[in-house]
């Protein structure tokens, strides 16, 4: 026990204080008072601050940290502020934690963090900067006019009136009530009314006499004026040569009231997001996932790659957290996690759900329960210590919670056990289950993932939901959500209870054949799809973009601009690898579905043989007992024979519904599929995907158009959906006539329906159907790619959507547009157009073959090569723009 920590190294509450103060002593002392593990969120916040300080005063900064409560957002923000204080002690930093939706009260708390002396110094520095700028301007004018050397000109070239006039112009540009703010700043530096002016700027009440003397009427008490005040404060600080950092924490309390978004507050936040970075300040928003979801799309787009989603801890990150705190207690950083064992660490993750706050609380409780009697803290110690604190239910408690929800919705369910433990609930619907809710212990990133996949993919082919107790390693969660419609992590929170209730309601709404959700429940499906995209795609995509951006910037500093060919070759290689991986995944899913059907048929065939044998044996026994006049025995045997005969008929009926042609045929490659399809009778409703595939290839798309459309929407396998889409694409209907089906496919999760749109429009020159120009911008990109000789088909109304840049590059806005000339001529380096990097990144993201929902990820599109070219064009634009910015900042 020599290396046992001398004290409990973990905070009992698992949180560190975050007072609303800008005192330099508090900011600089943060690293000494709070242990900080260098997690991705901490590194991201530090990189943000470093980039802002390197670019100051030319550029501002904007970012958003969002994630679950207790995930470490505030800690990362405080670490960033401590970093800024260490690098630039003269910086002015403000921290605000919203308590409610009252922006006026928040403004008063925020500005009051600045002392009267500091605010007066900022005002004087601002005036000094204006005077210096005017003097330099006057020197240049005089030297040009008189031909005199600048050092021989007199020093008094600027009058006080000019300074005040220029100040009034600048204040009017950032504050809607410029005269009042200017008078307050003027009296702030006069001793007689300095205190009253300071109180007024802080939103405090002042006496009527003081208000009349200063020239203001009443206190600041409306949100818009408060927003102007913050914008003016940013200008005061940065124009005086000091960096300005403002952190707004718990924004969800400001944006939401009783769960409903407050439109006025969202507008105020949008104004700050635009103005503070424009004034060369750094604005960091900190919010929960709910706060992030309520932000409008244009605000998210403005944040762009600056948004950082904080995810639950991975096992490696949890190990880093424990070692950081234990090392601080031993005064020897990163010395391992002893006395915690590896299994103890896993148990901490299971009970905490990867939430860093709860993990630290449970680590504290476990240490208290073990010391000083035990030399190690294993899974058993952690489990006992977590019993009173952990919210995560075990399998038994989770099962009770599920049963309660099912009963409340009027649903009955069969409990299914596997290997001696409860594995799932099956909601019946005739002979086949309507839905299955599977249960699993915590899942980590190791062999348990493969085991979980095998368990999940066994059983009925119907709507399936997976509920995991406590924890799923973030890299695994994305994979599970790609394979299973609904994956919920039972962490005991109110959010999980709401998600479980919504899941049961969704199961209750399923109608028709097993596994087919109710298509009328479009709002619920759209909401679930949106959440799925955000959690599984957007966050991971943004993180990858940031990593790529950092890599590009580092290369730009070391090498010349000629690195683009190597970068392009690297992207092409990654695109090929991603396409191969997607094709392999689609094929494996198809092959596995076929194997499941064959296995199910074999199981039923075996049961049929057993039932028939049993029936025959019982009949023979009954006949044999008849001569000895044992009526009860004979009657019992005949009843048993009748029962087994009924079972035989039932099994035979189920076997008849599973028609599999050539079940022993090999299916290892697409060549095997082509051979097997020629030998398989077509069957649109067959559980065998080969039968459905054969039906698609032998169906006339003109005579059975609606049948194929319905089959596309109901088909679960991408490979079959792609075959249906290719078949529909040769129908006589023109793309403009297929728009309703395309939009329905987009809404119902069948993107292969885009094959109906990605075709040349017949008689485009004369018809010019309006319906194509009214499509969403990203769909009009496909129209333009498919109709390069009739680009007017895609010339819809201009919007701020990223796809508009792609349309401009294709020439929809005219062949003389700079983007169109650059795309067709290849002169990207000399392109005479300035486009914000965030817009370029958003456009590249939209077209990307490397992102889950990028247009380039639809590998089955006939114009996929053109999509790749367009994507590489915007990547090249972004590459050269970032190279230029890096070189400019370095110089």
pLDDT tens column, 82-114: 999 989 999 999 999 998 889 999 999 999 999
**pLDDT of res. 154:** 45
Say how far apart CA 13 and CA 575 lie, in whole Å: 47
Say how far apart CA 620 and CA 546 lie, in whole Å: 76
Phi, psi of 486 (to 5 degrees): -135, 125
* The two structure tokens encoding residue 554: 């580092």
Task: Give the Cβ contact number of residue 500 at 10 Å.
Answer: 21
**pLDDT of res. 553:** 43
Q: Is the pLDDT of residue 758 over 70?
A: yes
Q: Which helix (H) or strand (E) holds 517?
A: none
Q: Which helix (H) or strand (E) holds 308?
A: strand 307-310
Say how far apart CA 438 and CA 467 lie, in whole Å: 6
Say how far apart CA 773 and CA 648 lie, in whole Å: 60
Token look-up 């390069």 returns 788
| CA-CA-CA-CA dihedral for 162, 168, 170, 173, to nearest 10 | -150
Say how far apart CA 828 and CA 845 lie, in whole Å: 19
CA angle 591, 594, 595 (to 5 degrees): 85
CB–CB of 286/65 below 8 Å?
A: yes
CB–CB of 689/597 below 8 Å?
A: yes
pLDDT band at 666 (very low <50, low <70, confident <90, very high): confident
Say how far apart CA 557 and CA 567 lie, in whole Å: 15
CB–CB of 754/724 below 8 Å?
A: no
DSSP secondary structure, 122-185, as one string: HHHHHHHHHHHHHHHHHHHHHHHHH---GGGS-S----HHHHHHHHHHHHHHH-TTHHHHHHHH
Say how far apart CA 317 and CA 324 lie, in whole Å: 11
Q: Is the pLDDT of residue 770 over 60?
A: yes
Percent of the chain with pLDDT over 90: 12
Say how far apart CA 692 and CA 711 lie, in whole Å: 9
Nearest by Cα to 180 from 245, 226, 136, 145: 226
| CA-CA-CA-CA dihedral for 766, 770, 776, 777, to nearest 10 | 40
Per DSSP, what are the bridge partners of residue 440? Answer: 468
**pLDDT of res. 457:** 52
Give me the mean pLDDT over the 607-622 stretch. Answer: 68
CB–CB of 784/810 below 8 Å?
A: yes
Task: Give the Cβ contact number of residue 104 at 10 Å.
Answer: 14
Reduce the DSSP state of residue 510 to 3 states and report it. Answer: coil
| CA-CA-CA-CA dihedral for 206, 209, 214, 217, to nearest 10 | 60
Percent of the chain with pLDDT over 70: 78
**pLDDT of res. 560:** 40
**pLDDT of res. 283:** 95
Q: Is 662 left (phi over 0), alpha (psi -120 to 50) or beta?
A: left
**pLDDT of res. 84:** 93
State the pairing for strand pair 244-249/282-287: parallel
Say how far apart CA 292 and CA 64 lie, in whole Å: 9
CB–CB of 170/185 below 8 Å?
A: no
Reduce the DSSP state of residue 669 to 3 states and report it. Answer: coil
Least confident residue range of 140-154, 452-466, 761-775: 140-154
CB–CB of 282/238 below 8 Å?
A: no
469: Cα separation from own chain's centroid: 22
Helices (H), 281-413: 289-294, 297-303, 315-330, 342-352, 356-370, 379-386, 395-408
pLDDT band at 57 (very low <50, low <70, confident <90, very high): confident
**pLDDT of res. 18:** 56
Give me the mean pLDDT over the 404-414 stretch. Answer: 87
233-243 pLDDT, tens digit per residue, is 998 999 889 99
Say how far apart CA 150 and CA 173 lie, in whole Å: 31
The set of residues, in sequence order, having a beta carbon less than 8 Å from that of 691 and lying 6+ positions away, is 659, 660, 661, 680, 681, 682, 683
**pLDDT of res. 829:** 57
* The two structure tokens encoding residue 672: 């095997």
pLDDT band at 185 (very low <50, low <70, confident <90, very high): confident
Say how far apart CA 185 and CA 535 lie, in whole Å: 47
Say how far apart CA 681 and CA 491 lie, in whole Å: 49
Q: Is the pLDDT of residue 65 over 90?
A: yes
* The two structure tokens encoding residue 454: 């095998």
SS (H, E, C) 46-107: HHHHHHHHHHCCCCCEEEEEEECCCCCHHHHHHHHHHHHHHHCCCCEEEEEECCCCCHHHHH
Average pLDDT, the chain: 79
Q: Is the pLDDT of residue 528 over 50?
A: no
Say how far apart CA 579 and CA 573 lie, in whole Å: 10
Say how far apart CA 751 and CA 740 lie, in whole Å: 13
The set of residues, in sequence order, having a beta carbon less than 8 Å from that of 539 and lying 6+ positions away, is 309, 311
Say how far apart CA 630 and CA 627 lie, in whole Å: 8
Give me the mean pLDDT over the 481-499 stretch. Answer: 82
Say how far apart CA 778 and CA 851 lie, in whole Å: 15
Query: pTM score > 0.75 for this model?
Result: no
**pLDDT of res. 171:** 80
Nearest by Cα to 474 from 528, 543, 416: 543
Q: Is the pLDDT of residue 343 over 70?
A: yes
- For 841-855, b where at least 16 C-beta lie within 10 A, e where not — what string? bbbbbbbbbbbbbbb
Give me the mean pLDDT over the 491-506 stretch. Answer: 86
Q: How many Cα atoms are found within 13 Å in the side-chain-facing hemisphere of 96?
A: 29
434-452 pLDDT, tens digit per residue, is 888 988 888 776 544 454 4
Say how far apart CA 486 and CA 828 lie, in whole Å: 44
Q: Is the pLDDT of residue 312 over 60?
A: yes
Q: Is the peptide bond before 745 cis (omega within 30 degrees of 0)?
A: no
pLDDT band at 847 (very low <50, low <70, confident <90, very high): very high
Give me the mean pLDDT over the 674-700 stretch. Answer: 82
């Amino acid at each position: 026990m020599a290396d046992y920590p001398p004290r409990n190294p973990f905070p009992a509450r698992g949180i560190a204080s975050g007072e609303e103060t800008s005192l330099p002593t508090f900011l600089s002392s943060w690293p000494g008072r709070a242990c900080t593990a260098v997690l991705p969120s901490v590194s991201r916040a530090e990189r943000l601050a470093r980039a802002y300080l390197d670019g100051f005063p030319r550029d501002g900064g904007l970012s958003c940290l969002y994630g679950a409560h207790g995930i470490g957002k505030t800690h990362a923000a405080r670490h960033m502020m401590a970093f800024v204080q260490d690098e630039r002690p003269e910086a002015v930093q403000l921290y605000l934690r919203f308590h409610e939706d009252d922006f006026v009260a928040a403004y008063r708390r925020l500005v009051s963090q600045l002392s009267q002396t500091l605010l007066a110094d900022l005002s004087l520095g601002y005036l000094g900067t204006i005077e210096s700028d005017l003097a330099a301007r006057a020197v240049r004018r005089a030297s040009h006019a008189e031909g005199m050397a600048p050092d021989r000109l007199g020093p008094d070239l600027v009058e006080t009136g000019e300074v005040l006039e220029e100040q009034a112009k600048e204040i009017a540009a950032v504050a809607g009530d410029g005269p009042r703010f200017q008078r307050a700043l003027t009296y702030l530096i006069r001793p007689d009314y300095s205190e009253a002016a300071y109180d007024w700027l802080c939103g405090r009440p002042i006496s009527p006499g003081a208000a009349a003397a200063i020239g203001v009427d009443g206190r600041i008490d409306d949100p818009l004026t408060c927003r102007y005040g913050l914008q003016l404060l940013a200008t005061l600080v940065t124009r005086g040569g000091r960096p300005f950092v403002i952190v707004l924490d718990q924004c969800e309390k400001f944006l939401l009231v009783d769960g409903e978004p407050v439109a006025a507050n969202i507008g105020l936040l949008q104004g700050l997001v635009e103005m503070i970075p424009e004034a060369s300040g750094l604005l960091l928003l900190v919010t929960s996932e709910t706060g992030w979801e309520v932000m409008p799309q244009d605000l998210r787009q403005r944040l762009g790659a600056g948004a950082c989603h904080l995810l639950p801890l991975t096992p490696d990150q949890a190990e880093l957290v424990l070692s950081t705190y234990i090392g601080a207690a031993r005064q020897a950083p990163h010395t391992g996690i002893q006395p915690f064992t590896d299994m103890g660490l896993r148990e901490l993750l299971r009970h905490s759900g990867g939430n860093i706050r709860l993990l630290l609380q449970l680590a504290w409780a476990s240490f208290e329960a073990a010391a000083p009697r035990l030399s190690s803290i294993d899974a058993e110690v952690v489990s006992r210590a977590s019993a009173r604190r952990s919210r995560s239910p075990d399998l038994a408690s989770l099962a009770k919670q599920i049963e309660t929800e099912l009963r409340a919705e009027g649903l009955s369910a069969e409990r299914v056990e596997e290997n001696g433990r409860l594995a799932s609930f099956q909601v019946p619907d005739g002979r086949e289950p309507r839905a299955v809710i599977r249960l699993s212990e915590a899942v980590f990133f190791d062999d348990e993932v493969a085991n979980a996949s095998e368990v999940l993919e066994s059983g009925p082919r119907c709507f399936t939901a997976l509920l995991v107790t406590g924890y799923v390693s973030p890299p695994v969660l994305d994979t599970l959500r790609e394979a299973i419609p609904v994956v919920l992590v039972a962490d005991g929170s109110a959010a999980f209870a709401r998600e479980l209730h919504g899941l049961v309601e969704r199961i209750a709404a399923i109608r028709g054949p097993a596994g087919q959700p109710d298509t009328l429940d479009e709002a619920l499906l759209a909401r679930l799809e949106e959440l799925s995209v955000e959690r599984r795609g957007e966050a991971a995509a943004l993180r990858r973009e940031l990593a790529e951006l950092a890599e590009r910037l580092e290369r730009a500093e070391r090498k010349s601009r000629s690195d683009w060919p190597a970068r392009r070759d690297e992207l092409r290689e990654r695109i090929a690898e991603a396409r191969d991986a997607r094709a392999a995944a689609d094929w494996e899913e198809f092959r596995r579905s076929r194997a499941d059907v064959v296995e199910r048929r074999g199981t039923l065939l075996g049961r049929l043989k057993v039932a028939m044998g049993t029936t025959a044996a019982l009949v023979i026994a009954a006949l044999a007992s008849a001569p000895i006049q044992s009526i009860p025995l004979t009657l019992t045997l005949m009843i048993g024979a009748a029962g087994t005969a009924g079972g035989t008929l039932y099994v035979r009926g189920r076997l008849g519904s599973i028609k599999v042609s050539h079940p022993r045929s090999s299916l290892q490659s697409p060549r095997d599929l082509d051979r097997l399809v020629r030998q398989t009778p077509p069957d649109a409703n067959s559980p065998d995907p080969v039968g459905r595939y054969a039906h698609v290839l032998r169906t006339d798309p003109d005579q059975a158009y609606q049948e194929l459309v319905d089959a596309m929407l109901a088909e679960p396998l991408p490979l079959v959906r792609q075959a249906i889409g290719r078949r529909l694409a040769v129908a006589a209907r023109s793309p403009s006539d297929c728009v309703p089906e395309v939009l329905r496919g987009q809404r119902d999760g069948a993107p292969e329906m885009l094959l109906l749109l990605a075709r040349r429009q017949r008689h485009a020159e004369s018809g010019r159907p309006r319906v194509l120009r009214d499509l969403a911008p990203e769909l009009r990109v496909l129209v333009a790619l498919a109709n390069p000789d009739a680009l007017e088909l895609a010339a819809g109304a201009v919007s701020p959507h990223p796809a508009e840049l792609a349309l401009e590059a294709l020439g929809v806005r005219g062949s003389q547009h700079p983007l169109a000339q650059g795309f067709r001529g290849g002169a990207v380096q000399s392109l005479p157009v300035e486009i914000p990097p965030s817009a370029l990144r958003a456009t590249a993201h939209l077209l990307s073959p490397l992102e889950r929902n990028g247009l380039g990820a639809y590998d089955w599109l006939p114009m996929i090569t053109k999509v790749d070219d367009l994507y590489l064009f915007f990547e090249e634009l972004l590459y050269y723009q970032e190279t230029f910015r890096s070189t400019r900042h370095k110089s």
